[in-house]
Amino acid sequence: MSEPEYPVKVGDETYGPIPASRLRADLDSGKLSHSALIWDGKRWVPAVALLAVPADVFSSDGGASDEGWSGERGRWAGMSEDKRPPLPASRAWPAVDHPGRWLMLYGDVLVLDGGTPTAGELLDRFAGRATTGGIPVDGLVNVTLAPAGGAEGPIAVEACGIEGMYEGFTLRCQLSVEDAAELRSELERDEVRVVSG
pLDDT tens-digit readout, 81-122 = 777 788 777 789 999 988 889 999 887 889 998 888 888 888
Stated as kind and residue range, the H or E segment containing 194 is: strand 194-196
CATH 2.30.29: which residues of the chain? Answer: 86-196
CATH architecture of the domain formed by 86-196:
Roll (2.30)
Report CA dihedral (19, 40, 136, 51) to the nearest 10 degrees: -40
Options 3.40.50, 3.30.1490, 3.90.550, 1.10.10; CATH for 5-57 is 3.30.1490
Instruction: State pLDDT tens for residues 108-158.
Output: 889 998 888 888 888 877 877 777 888 888 888 889 999 887 767 899 999
pTM of this structure: 0.60
